[in-house]
């Protein structure tokens, strides 16, 4: 299973077309962000905005989305054409990652970050991952990916429904990440 979408040329991730919009989220490279929200509207808005606009240095970022939502729905709702989108689902298929196969999930994201050091990763569906695995196993995956994000200029956006986790689990998720407040466009450093 490759990390490229059907419409991307093999060997390189394609960026979304310039939609003539300006960047409205100032998320720093080399960092991961937790967004406490349900549904993940702000997370997707930030993701699409960053990969659809020109950033500092006049360069556009490429993105990778992993979501519990079906890729066709995401493409239709957000106008994504070139961005690889993986579906977290128990069925077999192309561009599908089983929620129980954390190794494939980790490898897919890490390979993308290593190939696209200024890329943007959206990991939507942590609640689904936890419901199919132990919380600590999912936390280890996020920490491992976060280490790769920190070594590059990549960005990871992690929407989290706070109703699905207790206070301790939220604190563990946020310990090495920054909180992006839902309802704002700026990231808040952890306290």
Strands 178-180 and 187-188: antiparallel
pLDDT of residue 98: 97
By C-alpha distance, which of 51, 57, 89, 53 is closest to 70?
89
pTM of the model as a whole: 0.84
Per-residue pLDDT of the chain (191 residues; tens, 9 = 90+): 333 333 333 334 555 555 556 767 889 999 999 999 999 999 999 999 999 887 766 778 899 999 999 999 999 999 998 899 999 999 988 899 999 999 999 999 999 999 998 899 999 999 999 999 999 999 999 999 999 999 998 999 999 999 999 999 999 999 989 998 655 444 544 44
Q: How many residues does the chain have?
A: 191
Q: Is it true that domain 31-160 has CATH number 3.40.50.300?
A: yes
Q: Give the model confidence (pLDDT) of 61-85 as tens digits.
A: 899 999 999 999 999 999 998 899 9
> Which residues of the chain form beta strands (DSSP E)?
31-36, 63-67, 85-88, 96-97, 120-123, 155-160, 178-180, 187-188
3-state SS assignment for residue 181: coil
């Amino acid at each position: 299973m490759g990390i490229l979408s059907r419409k991307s040329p093999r060997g390189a991730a394609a960026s979304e077309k310039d939609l003539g919009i300006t960047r409205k989220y100032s998320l720093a490279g080399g960092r991961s962000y937790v967004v406490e929200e349900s549904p993940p509207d702000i997370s997707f808005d930030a993701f699409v905005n960053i990969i659809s606009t020109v950033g500092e240095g006049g360069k556009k970022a490429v993105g990778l989305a992993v979501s519990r939502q079906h890729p066709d729905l995401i493409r239709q709702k957000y106008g994504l054409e070139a961005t690889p989108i993986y579906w977290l689902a128990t069925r077999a298929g192309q561009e599908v990652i089983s929620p129980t196969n954390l190794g494939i999930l980790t490898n897919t994201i890490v390979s993308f970050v290593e190939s696209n050091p200024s890329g943007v990763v959206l990991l939507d569906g942590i609640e689904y991952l936890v419901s199919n695995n132990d919380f600590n196993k999912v936390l280890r995956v996020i920490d491992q990916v976060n280490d790769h994000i920190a070594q590059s200029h990549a960005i990871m956006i992690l929407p989290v429904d706070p109703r699905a986790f207790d206070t301790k689990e939220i604190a563990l998720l946020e310990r090495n990440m920054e909180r992006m407040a839902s309802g704002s466009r700026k990231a808040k450093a952890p306290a």
